[in-house]
Amino acid sequence: MRARSDTAMQAPAQDWRSRALVGLVLAAILFNFALCFVNTNLFRTGAGVVIGCEVALIGMTLALVMSRAFDLFVILAVYVAYTLFLAALQGSFDPKPARDLMIPVIFYFAARQLGSREDGDRLVWASIWIVLAVGLFEYGFLKQFVRLFDILGYYVSRGTVQAAAAELSGDRLFASGMRYEGRTLLPMLGEHRVSSVFLEPVSVGNFGAICFSWIVLREWGRPLRMIVRLFPVVAIFTLADARFGLSVSLLSLVAFALAGLTSRVLVAVAPFAVIVALAAIGYAYPDVAWDNTLRGRILLGGQFLSKLDMADIFALVPHFEFNADSGYAYTLVKIGLAGFGAMWLLFVMAPARDMTSWRYRVFVAIYVTLLLVISNSIYSIKTAALLWYLVGALDAPQRSAAHAPARSRASLRQARLRPA
């Protein structure tokens, strides 16, 4: 009797932490949007405020699992020691690369301890409708939107965009907020690419790919229901003209179908094979001009990689050149081949709860491998927190009745008392 009472007393604490974790993931999606409003209407929010918010989100997530995730703290301790070693070799410490791989580790372990697939469903749907609602407002009332959310001014305050360059822009959107060469998805919608709560279209595409693949996974085997539920995500892709995100999303269908035939070895070598292939392209075409097409971005990524020497590849020396348009180059010069390789192998080798979990992990491997070709946005907390929460939630043990929410336990008791 006493043991049963103790179990019942523990359930609310578990539920509170689970809800708090979902709230933190939503906050990671929305905090830049909120700071943009503050910067436009209240007071200036510089880079320090943005960094402080990210540190707070990561720290609060870590605090939720402080007493129950020994493996997490071992991995973090080794990774922190590794980043300090690189900082000693480089003669300076850059906190951004250090936090880049903390986000997937912390949110994955937190979701594996506190998350669930049902919470993942609720989180995905809440974020989809928020992003779509804000996106429709932005598209339909752009002038009013930028009066409330001066996106370009916010990025100037953060130090991401130079003030001189911002003065030349009249639309107050991020540089990629307009597709002047003409959009691909429904050209009749015009040049404007909706950024919604993410403030720039690249993250909208990444977010759409994460949500699209989750819905396909959860509705696998129910095609009509799946198609209906994908409508709002496709609308988000279309408003943002997110060509890459939509293309990767469609690959989730192939990934899920072939997941049973996909070995861990194949997933483990995938990004490193892409690095070699890109570098070969860069060596073969070192002086060819690139453009803003997929082919051009692949060429640019290869040219970045072909210029790296061994010290750059292992992040043994400081590197200050702009490389955000090549995720692999950024990863190598900031995190190092050894650090990235170790974290990737941990992701690949971590036990999957079942075939559903493995299916999504195969898709995530494809998503990460391809996105790093054209961008380092895989490390942005705006979408990374959601992605790694979902990966962790799929690996989370199924909650027992003792740890189910109070409403679910009450329903279960009523069902047991109901006569046959």
Q: What is the pLDDT of residues 208-263, one digit of tens each?
A: 999 999 999 999 989 999 999 999 999 999 999 999 999 999 999 999 999 999 99
Note whether 332 and 308 are within 8 A (CB): yes
In three state form, how does the secondary structure of 212-281 look?
HHHHHHHCCCCHHHHHHHHHHHHHHHHHHCCHHHHHHHHHHHHHHHHHHHCCHHHHHHHHHHHHHHHHHH
* pLDDT(328) > 50: yes
Q: pLDDT: is 210 or 171 the higher one?
A: 210
* Residue 269: Cβ-neighbour burial (10 angstroms; 0-12, 13-18, 19+): middle
% of the chain beyond a pLDDT of 90:
72
pLDDT of residue 396: 92
Note the pLDDT of residue 362: 97
Residue reference for tokens 């708090």: 20
| Predicted local confidence at residue 402, as pLDDT | 43
Note whether 203 and 377 are within 8 A (CB). yes
pLDDT at residue 372 greater than cutoff 80? yes
Q: What is the dihedral of CA 53, 56, 61, 65, to 10 degrees?
A: 170
Confidence at 6, pLDDT banded by 50, 70, 90: very low
The whole-number average pLDDT for the span 403-420 is: 43
pLDDT band at 291 (very low <50, low <70, confident <90, very high): confident
Give the best-scoring range by mean pLDDT among 63-72, 75-84, 119-128.
119-128
Per-residue confidence at 169, pLDDT binned at 50, 70, 90? Answer: low
pLDDT computed for residue 14 by the predictor:
55
- Residues 356-362 have a mean pLDDT of 97
**How far apart, in Å, are the Cα atoms of 236 and each of 134, 191, 209, 233, 266?**
10, 15, 10, 5, 32
288, pLDDT greater than 60: yes
Model's pTM, two decimal places? 0.90
The Cα-based distances of 159 to 56, 150, 153, 197, 318 in angstroms read 20, 14, 10, 19, 21
Both tokens of residue 124? Answer: 């995905």
pLDDT average, residue stretch 367-390 = 95
Residue 400 confidence (pLDDT): 58
pLDDT score of 401: 46
Return the half-sphere exposure (C-beta side, CA atoms, 13 A cut-off) of residue 72. 22
Spatial CA neighbour of 321 closest among 337, 310, 305, 336: 305
Instruction: With a cut of 90, say whether residue 340 has pLDDT above it.
Output: yes
pLDDT band for position 295 (cuts 50, 70, 90) = confident
**Gap between the Cα atoms of 341 and 269, Å rounded:** 10
Residue linked to tokens 């702009």: 322
- Render the burial of 6-34: b for 16+ CB within 10 Å, e for the rest: eeeeebeebbebbebbbebbbbbbbbbbe
pLDDT mean across residues, the chain: 88
pLDDT band at 163 (very low <50, low <70, confident <90, very high): low
List Cβ neighbours of 416 (8 Å cut-off, separation of 6 or more).
none
Reference 157, options 69, 247, 261, 32; nearest CA is: 32
What pLDDT, on the 0 to 100 scale, is given for residue 167?
52
Mean pLDDT score, 56-76: 90
Question: Does the pLDDT of residue 392 top 70, yes or no?
Answer: yes
Fill in the DSSP letter of residue 415. H
How crowded is residue 44: how many other Cβ atoms within 10 Å of its Cβ? 12
Please give the single-letter amino acid code of residue 237: F
pLDDT higher than threshold 80 for residue 420: no
The whole-number pLDDT of residue 233 equals 97
**pLDDT value at position 11?**
41
Q: How far apart (Å, rounded) are the C-alpha atoms in residues 282 and 305? A: 7
- Rounded mean pLDDT of 270-286? 94
Secondary structure (DSSP) of 145-159? HHHH--HHHHHHHHT
Domains of the chain by residue range: 15-395
> Which alpha helices (H) appear in 42-150, and where do they start and end?
47-64, 70-90, 95-100, 102-114, 117-140, 142-148
Other CB atoms within 10 A of residue 4 CB: 9
What letter would DSSP give residue 176?
G
